[in-house]
Protein backbone atom coordinates (compact mmCIF):
# COMPACT_ATOMS: atom_id res chain seq x y z
CA UNK A 1 0.00 0.00 0.00
CA UNK A 2 2.68 2.45 0.89
CA UNK A 3 4.33 2.23 -2.49
CA UNK A 4 1.33 3.26 -4.50
CA UNK A 5 2.15 6.88 -4.48
CA UNK A 6 5.80 6.47 -5.32
CA UNK A 7 6.73 7.69 -8.74
CA UNK A 8 7.61 5.03 -11.15
CA UNK A 9 5.85 2.13 -9.47
CA UNK A 10 2.28 3.07 -10.08
CA UNK A 11 2.04 0.60 -12.94
CA UNK A 12 2.81 -2.58 -10.94
CA UNK A 13 0.88 -1.30 -7.94
CA UNK A 14 -2.15 -0.82 -10.10
CA UNK A 15 -1.86 -4.42 -11.26
CA UNK A 16 -2.19 -5.65 -7.68
CA UNK A 17 -5.28 -3.56 -7.04
CA UNK A 18 -7.59 -6.56 -6.98
CA UNK A 19 -6.25 -7.62 -3.61
CA UNK A 20 -6.86 -4.23 -2.01
CA UNK A 21 -9.99 -2.43 -1.11
CA UNK A 22 -10.74 0.81 -2.85
CA UNK A 23 -10.99 2.66 0.41
CA UNK A 24 -7.37 1.92 1.25
CA UNK A 25 -6.22 3.35 -2.01
CA UNK A 26 -8.28 6.41 -1.61
CA UNK A 27 -6.72 7.00 1.75
CA UNK A 28 -3.25 6.50 0.56
CA UNK A 29 -3.66 8.87 -2.31
CA UNK A 30 -5.17 11.53 -0.19
CA UNK A 31 -2.38 11.31 2.40
CA UNK A 32 0.39 11.93 -0.12
CA UNK A 33 2.32 15.13 0.45
CA UNK A 34 1.40 18.02 -1.81
CA UNK A 35 4.78 18.02 -3.44
CA UNK A 36 4.03 14.62 -5.03
CA UNK A 37 2.57 15.20 -8.46
CA UNK A 38 0.40 12.11 -8.19
CA UNK A 39 -0.94 13.35 -4.87
CA UNK A 40 -1.70 16.73 -6.35
CA UNK A 41 -3.39 15.17 -9.34
CA UNK A 42 -5.33 12.84 -7.03
CA UNK A 43 -6.58 15.78 -5.01
CA UNK A 44 -7.54 17.75 -8.07
CA UNK A 45 -9.46 14.78 -9.43
CA UNK A 46 -11.15 14.28 -6.06
CA UNK A 47 -12.23 17.94 -6.00
CA UNK A 48 -13.58 17.78 -9.54
CA UNK A 49 -15.36 14.49 -8.77
CA UNK A 50 -16.88 15.95 -5.62
CA UNK A 51 -18.15 18.98 -7.56
CA UNK A 52 -19.68 16.66 -10.10
CA UNK A 53 -21.31 14.65 -7.36
CA UNK A 54 -19.50 11.42 -8.29
CA UNK A 55 -19.48 8.60 -5.66
CA UNK A 56 -16.38 7.63 -3.63
CA UNK A 57 -15.60 4.42 -5.48
CA UNK A 58 -15.84 6.06 -8.87
CA UNK A 59 -13.67 8.92 -7.62
CA UNK A 60 -10.94 6.48 -6.60
CA UNK A 61 -11.04 4.76 -9.96
CA UNK A 62 -10.95 8.10 -11.74
CA UNK A 63 -8.00 9.24 -9.67
CA UNK A 64 -6.01 6.13 -10.48
CA UNK A 65 -6.84 6.32 -14.19
CA UNK A 66 -5.79 9.98 -14.41
CA UNK A 67 -2.57 9.39 -12.45
CA UNK A 68 -1.71 6.30 -14.53
CA UNK A 69 -2.35 8.23 -17.73
CA UNK A 70 -0.26 11.18 -16.56
CA UNK A 71 2.70 8.96 -15.66
CA UNK A 72 2.48 6.94 -18.90
CA UNK A 73 2.45 10.23 -20.79
CA UNK A 74 5.46 11.45 -18.83
CA UNK A 75 7.29 8.24 -19.54
CA UNK A 76 6.47 8.48 -23.24
CA UNK A 77 7.54 12.09 -23.54
CA UNK A 78 10.60 11.38 -21.38
CA UNK A 79 11.69 8.68 -23.86
CA UNK A 80 10.96 11.04 -26.69
CA UNK A 81 13.10 13.72 -25.04
CA UNK A 82 16.00 11.31 -24.47
CA UNK A 83 15.79 10.24 -28.12
CA UNK A 84 15.72 13.82 -29.23
CA UNK A 85 18.78 14.71 -27.14
CA UNK A 86 20.59 11.57 -28.27
CA UNK A 87 20.13 12.57 -31.88
CA UNK A 88 21.65 15.95 -31.08
CA UNK A 89 24.83 14.64 -29.43
CA UNK A 90 25.35 11.15 -30.83
CA UNK A 91 25.69 10.00 -34.42
CA UNK A 92 25.04 6.34 -35.25
CA UNK A 93 25.48 4.15 -38.33
CA UNK A 94 23.58 0.86 -38.51
CA UNK A 95 24.42 -2.21 -40.55
CA UNK A 96 22.13 -5.12 -41.27
CA UNK A 97 23.34 -8.61 -42.11
CA UNK A 98 21.02 -8.68 -45.12
CA UNK A 99 23.13 -6.02 -46.75
CA UNK A 100 26.59 -6.40 -48.22
CA UNK A 101 27.90 -3.49 -46.15
CA UNK A 102 27.61 -5.80 -43.13
CA UNK A 103 30.43 -7.93 -44.55
CA UNK A 104 32.56 -4.82 -45.07
CA UNK A 105 32.16 -3.92 -41.40
CA UNK A 106 32.87 -7.44 -40.17
CA UNK A 107 35.99 -7.53 -42.30
CA UNK A 108 37.05 -4.14 -40.97
CA UNK A 109 36.39 -5.29 -37.41
CA UNK A 110 38.35 -8.47 -37.97
CA UNK A 111 41.36 -6.35 -38.89
CA UNK A 112 40.86 -3.82 -36.09
CA UNK A 113 43.36 -4.31 -33.21
CA UNK A 114 40.45 -4.28 -30.76
CA UNK A 115 39.20 -7.61 -32.14
CA UNK A 116 42.58 -9.16 -31.36
CA UNK A 117 42.59 -8.08 -27.72
CA UNK A 118 38.97 -8.03 -26.57
CA UNK A 119 38.17 -10.65 -23.98
CA UNK A 120 34.63 -11.06 -25.35
CA UNK A 121 34.98 -12.28 -28.89
CA UNK A 122 33.20 -14.59 -31.27
CA UNK A 123 34.93 -16.90 -33.70
CA UNK A 124 33.58 -17.28 -37.19
CA UNK A 125 34.70 -19.03 -40.34
CA UNK A 126 32.70 -16.61 -42.40
CA UNK A 127 32.12 -12.92 -42.60
CA UNK A 128 29.32 -13.05 -45.12
CA UNK A 129 25.69 -13.17 -44.17
CA UNK A 130 25.16 -16.24 -46.35
CA UNK A 131 27.69 -18.10 -44.26
CA UNK A 132 30.10 -18.74 -47.10
CA UNK A 133 33.75 -17.95 -46.78
CA UNK A 134 34.56 -14.78 -48.57
CA UNK A 135 38.04 -15.98 -49.18
CA UNK A 136 37.01 -18.44 -51.80
CA UNK A 137 37.68 -22.01 -52.54
CA UNK A 138 41.37 -21.98 -53.30
CA UNK A 139 42.20 -22.09 -49.61
CA UNK A 140 43.11 -25.37 -48.08
CA UNK A 141 39.72 -26.71 -47.04
CA UNK A 142 41.19 -28.55 -44.05
CA UNK A 143 41.93 -25.13 -42.59
CA UNK A 144 39.06 -22.77 -43.27
CA UNK A 145 39.67 -19.08 -42.58
CA UNK A 146 39.09 -17.94 -39.03
CA UNK A 147 37.75 -14.53 -38.09
CA UNK A 148 37.92 -13.10 -34.57
CA UNK A 149 35.15 -10.61 -34.01
CA UNK A 150 33.79 -8.72 -31.02
CA UNK A 151 31.06 -10.84 -29.43
CA UNK A 152 27.44 -9.66 -29.40
CA UNK A 153 27.10 -6.79 -26.94
CA UNK A 154 28.62 -3.36 -26.50
CA UNK A 155 32.28 -2.60 -27.21
CA UNK A 156 34.37 0.54 -27.03
CA UNK A 157 37.05 1.07 -29.63
CA UNK A 158 39.04 3.83 -31.28
CA UNK A 159 39.00 4.88 -34.90
CA UNK A 160 40.94 7.89 -36.22
CA UNK A 161 41.41 9.11 -32.64
CA UNK A 162 37.69 9.03 -32.00
CA UNK A 163 35.96 6.91 -29.42
CA UNK A 164 33.33 4.66 -30.95
CA UNK A 165 30.91 2.35 -29.25
CA UNK A 166 29.71 -0.60 -31.15
CA UNK A 167 26.64 -2.64 -30.38
CA UNK A 168 26.44 -6.02 -32.06
CA UNK A 169 22.95 -7.52 -31.87
CA UNK A 170 21.80 -10.98 -32.79
CA UNK A 171 18.23 -11.62 -33.84
CA UNK A 172 15.96 -12.80 -31.04
CA UNK A 173 13.84 -14.57 -33.59
CA UNK A 174 14.30 -18.28 -32.97
CA UNK A 175 13.23 -19.19 -36.50
CA UNK A 176 15.92 -16.94 -37.91
CA UNK A 177 18.44 -18.18 -35.41
CA UNK A 178 18.43 -21.68 -36.83
CA UNK A 179 19.03 -20.56 -40.37
CA UNK A 180 22.40 -19.51 -41.66
CA UNK A 181 20.95 -16.22 -42.63
CA UNK A 182 19.84 -15.21 -39.15
CA UNK A 183 19.49 -11.50 -38.78
CA UNK A 184 22.26 -9.55 -37.14
CA UNK A 185 22.78 -5.84 -36.72
CA UNK A 186 25.71 -3.67 -35.82
CA UNK A 187 25.28 -0.08 -34.64
CA UNK A 188 28.37 2.09 -34.43
CA UNK A 189 28.05 5.40 -32.58
CA UNK A 190 30.24 8.31 -31.65
CA UNK A 191 29.78 11.70 -29.99
CA UNK A 192 29.03 14.67 -32.16
CA UNK A 193 26.59 15.62 -34.85
CA UNK A 194 28.84 15.25 -37.88
CA UNK A 195 28.53 12.01 -39.79
CA UNK A 196 31.97 12.43 -41.37
CA UNK A 197 33.85 10.05 -39.11
CA UNK A 198 31.33 7.23 -39.57
CA UNK A 199 31.04 7.81 -43.29
CA UNK A 200 34.82 7.64 -43.53
CA UNK A 201 34.76 4.39 -41.58
CA UNK A 202 32.24 2.89 -44.02
CA UNK A 203 34.31 3.98 -47.03
CA UNK A 204 37.48 2.57 -45.44
CA UNK A 205 35.75 -0.71 -44.70
CA UNK A 206 34.40 -0.89 -48.24
CA UNK A 207 37.82 -0.13 -49.72
CA UNK A 208 39.50 -2.84 -47.63
CA UNK A 209 36.91 -5.31 -48.78
CA UNK A 210 37.20 -4.34 -52.43
CA UNK A 211 41.00 -4.45 -52.32
CA UNK A 212 40.84 -7.99 -51.08
CA UNK A 213 38.60 -8.93 -53.98
CA UNK A 214 40.72 -7.31 -56.65
CA UNK A 215 42.18 -10.58 -57.80
CA UNK A 216 38.95 -12.48 -57.30
CA UNK A 217 35.60 -12.95 -58.95
CA UNK A 218 32.76 -12.49 -56.51
CA UNK A 219 29.47 -14.31 -57.04
CA UNK A 220 26.20 -12.99 -55.69
CA UNK A 221 23.02 -15.02 -55.66
CA UNK A 222 19.46 -13.80 -55.34
CA UNK A 223 17.52 -14.74 -52.26
CA UNK A 224 13.77 -15.04 -52.34
CA UNK A 225 13.25 -11.54 -50.94
CA UNK A 226 14.71 -9.43 -53.68
CA UNK A 227 18.18 -9.09 -52.12
CA UNK A 228 21.59 -10.01 -53.46
CA UNK A 229 23.72 -12.15 -51.21
CA UNK A 230 27.40 -12.66 -51.68
CA UNK A 231 27.81 -16.42 -51.95
CA UNK A 232 31.46 -16.92 -52.72
CA UNK A 233 34.54 -15.48 -54.29
CA UNK A 234 37.19 -17.33 -56.18
CA UNK A 235 40.46 -16.40 -57.80
CA UNK A 236 39.96 -14.97 -61.26
CA UNK A 237 40.16 -17.76 -63.78
CA UNK A 238 42.55 -16.77 -66.56
CA UNK A 239 41.00 -16.91 -70.01
CA UNK A 240 43.99 -18.95 -71.13
CA UNK A 241 42.62 -21.89 -69.12
CA UNK A 242 39.47 -22.01 -71.21
CA UNK A 243 40.05 -24.19 -74.22
CA UNK A 244 37.76 -23.01 -76.97
CA UNK A 245 38.66 -21.91 -80.50
CA UNK A 246 40.95 -18.89 -80.02
CA UNK A 247 39.04 -16.72 -82.48
CA UNK A 248 35.82 -17.28 -80.52
CA UNK A 249 37.48 -16.30 -77.27
CA UNK A 250 39.00 -13.16 -78.72
CA UNK A 251 35.77 -12.19 -80.41
CA UNK A 252 33.69 -12.52 -77.23
CA UNK A 253 36.17 -10.75 -75.00
CA UNK A 254 36.66 -7.82 -77.34
CA UNK A 255 32.90 -7.55 -77.86
CA UNK A 256 32.36 -7.29 -74.09
CA UNK A 257 35.24 -4.85 -73.62
CA UNK A 258 33.99 -2.63 -76.39
CA UNK A 259 30.50 -2.68 -74.94
CA UNK A 260 31.74 -1.49 -71.56
CA UNK A 261 33.25 1.66 -73.06
CA UNK A 262 30.41 2.45 -75.46
CA UNK A 263 27.77 3.99 -73.24
CA UNK A 264 27.72 7.22 -75.23
CA UNK A 265 27.51 5.39 -78.53
CA UNK A 266 24.38 3.64 -77.31
CA UNK A 267 22.77 6.75 -75.86
CA UNK A 268 23.50 8.80 -79.02
CA UNK A 269 21.48 6.28 -80.98
CA UNK A 270 18.78 5.78 -78.37
CA UNK A 271 19.65 2.10 -78.02
CA UNK A 272 19.30 0.59 -74.53
CA UNK A 273 22.78 0.14 -73.14
CA UNK A 274 22.72 -3.59 -72.54
CA UNK A 275 24.38 -6.62 -74.03
CA UNK A 276 23.22 -10.22 -73.96
CA UNK A 277 25.13 -13.42 -74.65
CA UNK A 278 23.63 -16.86 -75.04
CA UNK A 279 26.05 -19.70 -74.37
CA UNK A 280 24.45 -22.96 -75.33
CA UNK A 281 25.46 -26.53 -75.95
CA UNK A 282 26.53 -29.77 -74.34
CA UNK A 283 26.99 -30.08 -70.59
CA UNK A 284 30.57 -29.77 -69.42
CA UNK A 285 31.75 -27.87 -72.45
CA UNK A 286 32.93 -24.77 -70.60
CA UNK A 287 29.98 -22.35 -70.67
CA UNK A 288 30.06 -21.62 -66.94
CA UNK A 289 33.84 -21.56 -66.85
CA UNK A 290 33.86 -19.06 -69.67
CA UNK A 291 31.48 -16.74 -67.82
CA UNK A 292 33.77 -16.84 -64.78
CA UNK A 293 36.78 -16.04 -66.91
CA UNK A 294 35.03 -13.27 -68.77
CA UNK A 295 33.88 -11.64 -65.51
CA UNK A 296 37.45 -11.91 -64.19
CA UNK A 297 38.91 -10.41 -67.34
CA UNK A 298 36.48 -7.49 -67.22
CA UNK A 299 36.81 -7.01 -63.45
CA UNK A 300 33.09 -7.58 -62.90
CA UNK A 301 31.14 -9.48 -60.29
CA UNK A 302 28.67 -12.18 -61.19
CA UNK A 303 25.03 -11.96 -60.14
CA UNK A 304 23.09 -15.18 -60.44
CA UNK A 305 19.35 -15.61 -60.44
CA UNK A 306 18.06 -19.13 -60.34
CA UNK A 307 14.53 -19.18 -61.65
CA UNK A 308 13.86 -22.27 -59.58
CA UNK A 309 14.28 -20.10 -56.47
CA UNK A 310 10.92 -20.61 -54.76
CA UNK A 311 10.59 -17.17 -53.25
CA UNK A 312 11.11 -15.38 -56.54
CA UNK A 313 8.27 -13.34 -58.00
CA UNK A 314 8.05 -10.95 -60.94
CA UNK A 315 8.50 -8.06 -58.53
CA UNK A 316 11.53 -9.39 -56.69
CA UNK A 317 13.13 -10.44 -59.97
CA UNK A 318 12.56 -6.98 -61.41
CA UNK A 319 14.00 -5.37 -58.29
CA UNK A 320 17.05 -7.60 -58.33
CA UNK A 321 17.87 -7.05 -61.93
CA UNK A 322 17.37 -3.31 -61.75
CA UNK A 323 19.98 -3.40 -59.01
CA UNK A 324 22.73 -5.14 -60.92
CA UNK A 325 25.58 -2.97 -62.05
CA UNK A 326 27.82 -5.57 -63.57
CA UNK A 327 27.41 -8.99 -65.04
CA UNK A 328 24.22 -10.93 -64.50
CA UNK A 329 24.30 -14.61 -65.13
CA UNK A 330 21.11 -16.49 -65.39
CA UNK A 331 20.67 -20.16 -65.99
CA UNK A 332 17.28 -20.01 -67.59
CA UNK A 333 14.23 -22.13 -67.58
CA UNK A 334 13.28 -22.22 -71.20
CA UNK A 335 9.66 -21.29 -70.73
CA UNK A 336 10.04 -19.13 -67.67
CA UNK A 337 8.00 -21.59 -65.64
CA UNK A 338 9.27 -22.92 -62.38
CA UNK A 339 8.20 -23.64 -58.88
CA UNK A 340 8.10 -19.91 -58.16
CA UNK A 341 5.72 -17.29 -59.42
CA UNK A 342 7.91 -15.68 -62.06
CA UNK A 343 5.95 -15.36 -65.28
CA UNK A 344 7.45 -15.28 -68.71
CA UNK A 345 6.51 -11.64 -69.18
CA UNK A 346 8.02 -10.89 -65.74
CA UNK A 347 11.25 -12.45 -66.93
CA UNK A 348 11.25 -10.43 -70.15
CA UNK A 349 10.52 -7.29 -68.16
CA UNK A 350 13.44 -7.97 -65.84
CA UNK A 351 15.73 -8.41 -68.81
CA UNK A 352 14.81 -5.31 -70.74
CA UNK A 353 11.72 -3.67 -69.26
CA UNK A 354 11.68 0.01 -68.40
CA UNK A 355 13.19 -0.60 -64.98
CA UNK A 356 15.87 -3.00 -66.24
CA UNK A 357 19.43 -2.09 -65.43
CA UNK A 358 21.54 -0.35 -68.08
CA UNK A 359 25.19 -1.17 -68.59
CA UNK A 360 24.90 -4.81 -67.67
CA UNK A 361 25.95 -7.88 -69.56
CA UNK A 362 23.49 -10.73 -69.42
CA UNK A 363 24.85 -14.22 -69.97
CA UNK A 364 22.31 -16.98 -70.39
CA UNK A 365 23.55 -20.53 -70.36
CA UNK A 366 21.50 -23.48 -71.47
CA UNK A 367 21.92 -27.04 -72.68
CA UNK A 368 18.72 -26.79 -74.77
CA UNK A 369 18.54 -23.74 -76.94
CA UNK A 370 15.74 -25.33 -78.98
CA UNK A 371 13.47 -25.23 -75.92
CA UNK A 372 13.82 -21.51 -75.40
CA UNK A 373 10.98 -19.24 -76.37
CA UNK A 374 12.17 -17.24 -79.40
CA UNK A 375 11.02 -14.03 -77.67
CA UNK A 376 13.54 -14.64 -74.89
CA UNK A 377 16.49 -14.70 -77.22
CA UNK A 378 15.44 -12.28 -79.92
CA UNK A 379 18.03 -9.70 -81.04
CA UNK A 380 18.15 -6.89 -78.52
CA UNK A 381 17.80 -9.35 -75.66
CA UNK A 382 20.50 -11.68 -76.90
CA UNK A 383 23.09 -10.12 -79.18
CA UNK A 384 25.66 -12.90 -79.46
CA UNK A 385 25.04 -16.65 -79.55
CA UNK A 386 27.88 -19.07 -78.96
CA UNK A 387 27.65 -22.80 -79.45
CA UNK A 388 29.72 -24.98 -77.11
CA UNK A 389 30.27 -28.52 -78.34
CA UNK A 390 31.98 -31.67 -77.19
CA UNK A 391 35.76 -31.59 -77.43
CA UNK A 392 37.45 -31.52 -80.79
CA UNK A 393 40.80 -33.28 -81.10
CA UNK A 394 42.45 -29.89 -81.14
CA UNK A 395 40.81 -29.00 -77.82
CA UNK A 396 41.87 -32.37 -76.37
CA UNK A 397 45.45 -31.64 -77.40
CA UNK A 398 45.42 -28.18 -75.86
CA UNK A 399 43.83 -29.44 -72.65
CA UNK A 400 46.55 -32.07 -72.31
CA UNK A 401 49.29 -29.46 -72.84
CA UNK A 402 47.82 -27.18 -70.18
CA UNK A 403 47.32 -30.07 -67.78
CA UNK A 404 51.02 -31.07 -67.83
CA UNK A 405 52.93 -27.78 -68.00
CA UNK A 406 56.17 -29.33 -66.68
CA UNK A 407 57.00 -31.28 -69.84
CA UNK A 408 59.67 -30.22 -72.30
CA UNK A 409 58.40 -28.70 -75.50
CA UNK A 410 59.07 -31.87 -77.51
CA UNK A 411 57.54 -34.19 -74.89
CA UNK A 412 54.53 -31.97 -74.61
CA UNK A 413 53.99 -31.82 -78.37
CA UNK A 414 54.45 -35.55 -78.95
CA UNK A 415 52.39 -36.75 -76.00
CA UNK A 416 49.57 -34.25 -76.54
CA UNK A 417 49.31 -35.15 -80.21
CA UNK A 418 49.21 -38.88 -79.44
CA UNK A 419 46.63 -38.30 -76.74
CA UNK A 420 44.43 -36.18 -79.03
CA UNK A 421 44.66 -38.65 -81.89
CA UNK A 422 43.16 -41.31 -79.59
CA UNK A 423 40.16 -39.18 -78.61
CA UNK A 424 37.26 -39.44 -81.06
CA UNK A 425 36.27 -36.03 -82.35
CA UNK A 426 33.24 -34.43 -80.61
CA UNK A 427 32.41 -37.52 -78.57
CA UNK A 428 33.49 -36.50 -75.08
CA UNK A 429 32.90 -33.24 -73.30
CA UNK A 430 35.83 -31.24 -72.03
CA UNK A 431 34.66 -32.02 -68.51
CA UNK A 432 34.96 -35.77 -69.27
CA UNK A 433 38.46 -35.36 -70.62
CA UNK A 434 39.42 -33.25 -67.66
CA UNK A 435 38.03 -35.97 -65.37
CA UNK A 436 40.18 -38.58 -67.10
CA UNK A 437 43.31 -36.44 -66.78
CA UNK A 438 42.54 -35.74 -63.14
CA UNK A 439 42.80 -39.46 -62.61
CA UNK A 440 46.32 -39.23 -64.04
CA UNK A 441 47.63 -36.21 -62.20
CA UNK A 442 51.35 -35.91 -62.80
CA UNK A 443 51.30 -39.03 -65.00
CA UNK A 444 51.22 -37.84 -68.61
CA UNK A 445 52.74 -40.99 -70.08
CA UNK A 446 50.35 -43.25 -68.26
CA UNK A 447 47.47 -41.02 -69.38
CA UNK A 448 48.48 -41.53 -72.98
CA UNK A 449 48.91 -45.27 -72.46
CA UNK A 450 45.53 -45.68 -70.80
CA UNK A 451 43.41 -43.36 -72.88
CA UNK A 452 42.64 -46.02 -75.49
CA UNK A 453 41.09 -48.37 -72.96
CA UNK A 454 39.20 -45.47 -71.37
CA UNK A 455 37.74 -44.52 -74.75
CA UNK A 456 36.94 -48.16 -75.45
CA UNK A 457 35.15 -48.54 -72.12
CA UNK A 458 32.90 -45.64 -73.10
CA UNK A 459 32.28 -46.59 -76.69
CA UNK A 460 28.52 -46.75 -76.08
CA UNK A 461 28.45 -43.23 -74.75
CA UNK A 462 30.34 -40.85 -72.55
CA UNK A 463 30.60 -41.55 -68.82
CA UNK A 464 27.33 -40.93 -67.00
CA UNK A 465 28.85 -39.07 -64.10
CA UNK A 466 29.47 -35.65 -65.50
CA UNK A 467 30.35 -34.06 -62.20
CA UNK A 468 32.43 -31.05 -62.90
CA UNK A 469 34.81 -29.14 -60.75
CA UNK A 470 32.92 -25.96 -61.35
CA UNK A 471 30.23 -25.06 -58.93
CA UNK A 472 27.19 -24.23 -60.99
CA UNK A 473 26.59 -20.52 -61.20
CA UNK A 474 23.05 -20.86 -60.05
CA UNK A 475 23.90 -22.56 -56.79
N1 LIG B 1 36.37 -25.52 -72.87
C2 LIG B 1 36.88 -25.81 -71.69
N3 LIG B 1 38.12 -25.42 -71.36
C4 LIG B 1 38.65 -25.72 -70.17
N5 LIG B 1 38.02 -26.43 -69.22
C6 LIG B 1 36.79 -26.84 -69.50
C7 LIG B 1 36.16 -26.56 -70.74
N8 LIG B 1 34.95 -27.10 -70.72
C9 LIG B 1 34.79 -27.68 -69.54
N10 LIG B 1 35.90 -27.53 -68.79
C11 LIG B 1 36.09 -28.02 -67.43
O12 LIG B 1 35.00 -28.87 -67.14
C13 LIG B 1 34.34 -28.52 -65.96
C14 LIG B 1 32.89 -28.20 -66.25
O15 LIG B 1 32.81 -27.05 -67.07
P16 LIG B 1 31.61 -26.02 -67.03
O17 LIG B 1 30.87 -26.13 -65.77
O18 LIG B 1 32.14 -24.70 -67.42
O19 LIG B 1 30.70 -26.59 -68.19
P20 LIG B 1 29.24 -26.11 -68.63
O21 LIG B 1 29.22 -26.10 -70.11
O22 LIG B 1 28.86 -24.87 -67.96
O23 LIG B 1 28.38 -27.33 -68.10
P24 LIG B 1 26.82 -27.38 -67.76
O25 LIG B 1 26.06 -27.02 -68.98
O26 LIG B 1 26.60 -28.79 -67.33
O27 LIG B 1 26.63 -26.42 -66.64
C28 LIG B 1 35.11 -27.38 -65.37
O29 LIG B 1 35.90 -27.86 -64.32
C30 LIG B 1 35.99 -26.87 -66.46
O31 LIG B 1 37.25 -26.53 -65.96
Average pLDDT of the residues in 387-401: 96
Does the beta carbon of 394 sit less than 6 angstroms from any atom of ligand 1? no
What confidence score (pLDDT) does residue 406 get? 93
Query: Taking the CA atoms of the chain, what radius of gyration do you get in angstroms?
Result: 34
Average pLDDT of the residues in 283-299: 93
CA-closest candidate to residue 187, choices 198, 176, 173, 200: 198
Average predicted confidence (pLDDT) for the chain? 78
What confidence score (pLDDT) does residue 26 get? 35
What confidence score (pLDDT) does residue 40 get? 64
| Terminal C-alpha separation, the chain | 66
- Closest CA to ligand 1's atom 24: 283
Does the beta carbon of 239 sit less than 6 angstroms from any atom of ligand 1? no
Does the beta carbon of 288 sit less than 6 angstroms from any atom of ligand 1? yes
Does the beta carbon of 332 sit less than 6 angstroms from any atom of ligand 1? no
468 or 408, which is more confident: 408
Q: Is the pTM of this model over 0.80?
A: no
Whether 155 contacts 114, CB under 8 Å: yes
What is the CATH code of the structural domain delimited by 232-388? Answer: 3.40.50.300
What is the pairing mode between strands 384-388 and 275-281?
Answer: parallel
The angle formed by the CA atoms of residues 427, 431 and 434, to the nearest 5 degrees, is 100
Whether 355 contacts 318, CB under 8 Å: yes
Return phi, psi of residue 407, to 5°: -80, 155
CA-closest candidate to residue 328, choices 364, 378, 296, 285: 364
Return d(Cα 421, Cα 400) in angstroms, integer. 12
CA-closest candidate to residue 336, choices 355, 358, 351, 321: 351
pLDDT band at 322 (very low <50, low <70, confident <90, very high): low
How many distinct helices (H) and strands (E) make up the chain?
17, 13
Return phi, psi of residue 228, to 5°: -90, 135
Return d(Cα 277, Cα 386) in angstroms, integer. 8
CA–centroid distance, 372 to ligand 1, in Å, is 21
Pocket test for ligand 1, best of 280, 364, 431 (most atoms within 8 A of CB): 431
Which residues have CB under 8 Å from 151's CB, separation 6+?
118, 120, 121, 122, 168
Return d(Cα 93, Cα 326) in angstroms, integer. 27
Q: Is the pLDDT of residue 42 over 70?
A: no
Least confident span in 88-97, 208-217, 436-445: 208-217
Average pLDDT of the residues in 288-305: 90
Q: Is the ipTM of this complex over 0.95?
A: yes
Q: Give Cα separations from 194 to 191, 200, 243 (angstroms).
A: 9, 11, 55
Q: Give Cα separations from 25 to 3, 8, 423 (angstroms).
A: 11, 17, 99
What confidence score (pLDDT) does residue 204 get? 95
Return d(Cα 252, Cα 278) in angstroms, integer. 11
- Closest CA to ligand 1's atom 26: 283
What confidence score (pLDDT) does residue 30 get? 36
Does the beta carbon of 469 sit less than 6 angstroms from any atom of ligand 1? yes
Return d(Cα 443, Cα 451) in angstroms, integer. 12
pLDDT band at 459 (very low <50, low <70, confident <90, very high): confident
Return d(Cα 390, Cα 313) in angstroms, integer. 36
181 or 158, which is more confident: 158
200: how many CB neighbours lie within 10 A of its CB? 13
Whether 196 contacts 216, CB under 8 Å: no
Within the chain, which residue ranges are assigned CATH 3.40.50.300?
A: 232-388
CA–centroid distance, 454 to ligand 1, in Å, is 20
pLDDT in tens, 110-137: 999 999 899 989 888 777 654 444 444 4
Least confident span in 18-32, 58-72, 239-253, 455-469: 18-32
Average pLDDT of the residues in 351-379: 85
Return d(Cα 284, Cα 74) in angstroms, integer. 70
Whether 346 contacts 314, CB under 8 Å: yes
Return d(Cα 328, Cα 300) in angstroms, integer. 10
pLDDT in tens, 134-163: 444 444 455 677 888 999 999 999 999 999
Whether 345 contacts 337, CB under 8 Å: no
What confidence score (pLDDT) does residue 10 get? 28
Q: Is the pLDDT of residue 418 over 90?
A: yes
329 or 98, which is more confident: 98
Average pLDDT of the residues in 443-460: 94
Whether 423 contacts 429, CB under 8 Å: no
> What number does the ligand 1 atom closest to the CA of 402 have?
4
pLDDT in tens, 72-101: 777 777 777 777 777 778 999 999 988 889
371: how many CB neighbours lie within 10 A of its CB? 11
Exposure class string for 443-454: b at 16+ Cβ within 10 A, else e:
ebeebbeebeeb
Average pLDDT of the residues in 329-355: 64
pLDDT band at 270 (very low <50, low <70, confident <90, very high): very high
475 or 140, which is more confident: 140
Does the beta carbon of 470 sit less than 6 angstroms from any atom of ligand 1? yes
Does the beta carbon of 471 sit less than 6 angstroms from any atom of ligand 1? no
Q: Is the pLDDT of residue 259 over 70?
A: yes
Whether 133 contacts 94, CB under 8 Å: no
20: how many CB neighbours lie within 10 A of its CB? 13
Return d(Cα 390, Cα 410) in angstroms, integer. 27
Pocket test for ligand 1, best of 289, 332, 394 (most atoms within 8 A of CB): 289
Does the beta carbon of 431 sit less than 6 angstroms from any atom of ligand 1? yes
Q: Is the pLDDT of residue 58 over 80?
A: no
Average pLDDT of the residues in 281-300: 93
What confidence score (pLDDT) does residue 163 get? 94
What confidence score (pLDDT) does residue 66 get? 76
Q: Give Cα separations from 203 to 104, 107, 132, 210, 276 (angstroms).
A: 9, 13, 23, 10, 32
pLDDT band at 205 (very low <50, low <70, confident <90, very high): very high
> What number does the ligand 1 atom closest to the CA of 243 have?
3
Amino acid sequence: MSFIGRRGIIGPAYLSLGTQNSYGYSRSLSTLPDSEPSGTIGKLVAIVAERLGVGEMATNGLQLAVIGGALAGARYFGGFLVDFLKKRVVVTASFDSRDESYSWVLNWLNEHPYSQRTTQFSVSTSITSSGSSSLGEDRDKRFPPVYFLPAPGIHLLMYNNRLLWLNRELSQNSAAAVTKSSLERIHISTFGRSRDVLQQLVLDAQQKFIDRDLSRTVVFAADGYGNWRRTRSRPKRPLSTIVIPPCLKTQLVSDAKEFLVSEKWYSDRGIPYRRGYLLYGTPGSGKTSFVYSLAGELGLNIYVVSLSNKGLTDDTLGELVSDVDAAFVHRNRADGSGTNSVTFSGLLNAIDGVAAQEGRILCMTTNHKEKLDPALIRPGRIDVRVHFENATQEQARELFTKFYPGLTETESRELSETFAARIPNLKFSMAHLQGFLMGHKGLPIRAVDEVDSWVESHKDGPPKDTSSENEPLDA
